[in-house]
């Protein structure tokens, strides 16, 4: 009898451990994801998160996202693709400019994602290595993009702190190992042997980075990818949406306990429903959504090179050049490098399962989303393009014929 009593107490205590959260909007969706969290007894490391959105503004998505963020007092960074603000390129240019102004006026940071989403440095497109912009084109793109952002905000853009840039595809700040190897084979010399050493060296000598730093920009990458770019469909079904939200909460909550800079796209309709739930659940579980200003002061973000601060970048670049000069003077051959090991070479026995199609996909197969090492990626994700032998030309033709 006593054992039964204790068992009942135990059951009640388990039930009492279930987390309860309140939702400002999307309450039904929020409760459904919360029950997934409770079912898995998922825990959350208390940490800071800064949310960022790329590729907008979009008249159908950005205003909704802004409304939800403002309701909750969360301040995000919006990396604008500035063809959206150009009279010659976008029918919505006037409305888009007004939206950028409104975003800034409601306390968010407006940042530069370049003019036309072309790469700023060498990029492997799945078939061939394509050069990024030459010096003149690069400088022109940065200047045009900056002007469009300044015009849209009555000059307020340039007075923001921090002033941020994010290269399309990250190229200019985040080359892949394959691209670094190609550079090494084609005359660029590195002192270091490992990928992490070489990527650091690359950053100290990256012309695109020096160009934006010279114009007063710091570069912000990310250490949490929402995965929203892998969804080709406008509005996924409810189960897929719930899994997307759950996966993001899990990613933001998980170890290591470093400040997260989260990448979303404000051109993806699904985020209109997902962001409010991620915000409310995240807060409830212990995530602290911080401003761009606080993120920029965070040493974890800077030390992990997620944020490449302009002054630090210029100083480190100068020191590196000095070191290189000393090294070559000491007789070491800086021009010869060993070939980099290919870490992505080995075949992995992993697969991806599509809930939507109830089908299993092997490595590098799928539709718009490609399975790679057990995870879904967009077919156009640079990571996939570099590592899967995809017939992208056929894919483009098919897309363009629609
Ligand atoms: Zn982008």
Ligand 1 center–CA 251 separation, angstroms: 21
Tokens (6 digits) for 315: 């100083």
Residue 233: pLDDT band (50, 70, 90) is confident
Burial (CB < 10 A; 0-12, 13-18, 19+), residue 101, is: middle
pLDDT of residue 392: 55
Ligand 1 center–CA 209 separation, angstroms: 17
Has this prediction a pTM greater than 0.95?
no
Ligand 1 center–CA 136 separation, angstroms: 22
CB count, 10 Å around CB of 13? 9
Ligand 1 center–CA 53 separation, angstroms: 9
Phi, psi of 123 (to 5 degrees): -145, 130
Q: Which domains does the chain possess?
A: 39-326 (3.20.20.370), 352-400 (no CATH)
pLDDT of residue 340: 29
pLDDT of residue 347: 36
> Tens of pLDDT along 307-333?
999 988 888 888 887 777 765 544 433
* 332-355 mean pLDDT: 43
Mean pLDDT, rounded, of the chain: 86
Closest to 228 (Cα-Cα) out of 203, 245, 209, 204:
245
Ligand 1 center–CA 261 separation, angstroms: 15
Ligand 1 center–CA 54 separation, angstroms: 5
Give exposure, 103-131, as e/b (b: 16+ Cβ within 10 Å). Answer: bbeeebbbbbbbbeebbbbbbbbbeeeee
pLDDT of residue 398: 52
- Say yes or no to pLDDT of 219 above 50: yes
Ligand 1 center–CA 194 separation, angstroms: 28
Q: Report the range of poorest mean pLDDT among 10-14, 198-202, 226-230.
A: 10-14
Give exposure, 320-343, as e/b (b: 16+ Cβ within 10 Å). Answer: beeebeeeeeeeeeeeebeebeee
- Say yes or no to pLDDT of 346 above 90: no
- What percent of the chain lies above the pLDDT cut of 90? 61
* Cα end-to-end distance, the chain, whole Å: 71
Instruction: Assess contact for 160 and 146: CB atoms under 8 A.
Output: no
For 234-237, the CB contacts below 8 A with 24+ separation are 234/269, 234/270, 235/269, 235/270, 236/270, 236/356, 237/356
Residue 180: pLDDT band (50, 70, 90) is very high
Q: How far apart are CA 89 and CA 234, in angstroms?
A: 23
Residues within 5 Å of ion ligand 1, judged at the Cβ atom: 54-55
Q: Report the range of poorest mean pLDDT among 7-21, 55-69, 79-93, 362-376.
A: 7-21
Ligand 1 center–CA 168 separation, angstroms: 5
Closest to 308 (Cα-Cα) out of 187, 182, 199:
199
DSSP 306: S
> Tens of pLDDT along 56-91?
999 999 999 999 999 999 999 999 999 999 999 999
Residue 111 or 234, more confident: 111
Alpha helices in 153-254 (DSSP H): 177-185, 195-205, 207-214, 238-253
pLDDT of residue 2: 64
Can you list the positions of beta strands (E) in 57-95? 77-80
> Tens of pLDDT along 91-112?
999 999 999 999 999 999 999 9
Q: How far apart are CA 373 and CA 351, in angstroms?
A: 7
pLDDT of residue 104: 98
* 221-244 mean pLDDT: 92
> Tens of pLDDT along 264-314?
999 999 999 999 999 999 999 999 999 999 999 998 898 888 999 998 888
Reported as half-sphere exposure (CB side, CA atoms, 13 A), residue 5 has a value of 2
- Say yes or no to pLDDT of 200 above 60: yes
pLDDT of residue 13: 52
Ligand 1 center–CA 117 separation, angstroms: 6
* 193-201 mean pLDDT: 87
Residue 339: pLDDT band (50, 70, 90) is very low
Ligand 1 center–CA 265 separation, angstroms: 8
- Say yes or no to pLDDT of 379 above 90: no
Give exposure, 161-180, as e/b (b: 16+ Cβ within 10 Å). Answer: ebbbbbbbbbbbbbbbbebb
Ligand 1 center–CA 313 separation, angstroms: 23
Residue 381 or 280, more confident: 280
Residue 244: pLDDT band (50, 70, 90) is very high
pLDDT of residue 402: 46
Tokens (6 digits) for 273: 């429903």
pLDDT of residue 148: 98
């Amino acid at each position: 009898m006593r054992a039964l009593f204790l068992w009942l107490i135990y059951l009640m205590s388990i039930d009492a451990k279930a987390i309860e959260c309140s939702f400002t909007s999307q309450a039904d969706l929020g409760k459904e994801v919360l029950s997934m969290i409770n079912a898995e007894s998922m825990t959350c490391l208390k940490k800071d998160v800064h949310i960022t959105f790329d590729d907008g503004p979009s008249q159908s998505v950005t205003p909704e996202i802004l409304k939800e963020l403002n309701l909750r007092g969360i301040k995000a960074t919006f990396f604008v693709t500035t063809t959206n603000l150009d009279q010659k390129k976008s029918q919505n240019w006037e409305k888009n400019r007004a939206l950028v102004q409104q975003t800034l006026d409601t306390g968010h940071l407006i940042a530069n994602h370049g003019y036309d989403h072309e790469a700023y440095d060498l990029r492997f497109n799945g078939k061939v290595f394509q050069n990024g912009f030459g010096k003149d084109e690069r400088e022109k793109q940065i200047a045009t993009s900056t002007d469009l952002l300044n015009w849209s905000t009555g000059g307020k853009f340039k007075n923001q702190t921090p002033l941020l840039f994010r290269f399309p595809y990250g190229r200019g700040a985040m080359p892949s190992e394959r691209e670094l190897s190609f550079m090494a084979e084609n005359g660029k010399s590195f002192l270091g042997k490992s990928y992490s050493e070489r990527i650091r060296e690359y950053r100290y000598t990256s012309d695109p980075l020096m160009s934006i730093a010279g114009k007063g920009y710091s570069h912000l990458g990310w250490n949490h990818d929402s995965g929203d770019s892998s969804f080709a469909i406008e509005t996924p079904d409810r189960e897929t949406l719930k899994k997307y939200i759950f996966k993001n909460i899990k990613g933001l909550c998980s170890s290591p306990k470093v400040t997260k800079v989260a990448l979303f796209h404000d051109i993806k309709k699904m985020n209109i429903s997902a962001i409010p739930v991620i915000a409310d659940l995240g807060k409830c579980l212990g995530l602290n959504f911080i401003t761009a200003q606080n993120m920029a002061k965070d040493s974890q973000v800077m030390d992990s090179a997620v944020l490449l601060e302009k002054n630090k970048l210029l100083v480190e670049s100068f020191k590196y050049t000095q070191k290189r000069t000393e090294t070559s003077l000491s007789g070491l051959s800086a021009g010869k490098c060993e070939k980099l090991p290919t870490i992505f070479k080995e075949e992995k026995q992993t697969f991806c399962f599509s809930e939507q199609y109830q089908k299993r996909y092997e490595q590098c197969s799928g539709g718009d989303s490609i399975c790679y090492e057990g995870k879904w990626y967009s077919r156009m994700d640079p990571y996939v393009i570099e590592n899967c032998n995809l017939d992208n030309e056929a894919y483009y033709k098919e897309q363009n014929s629609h």
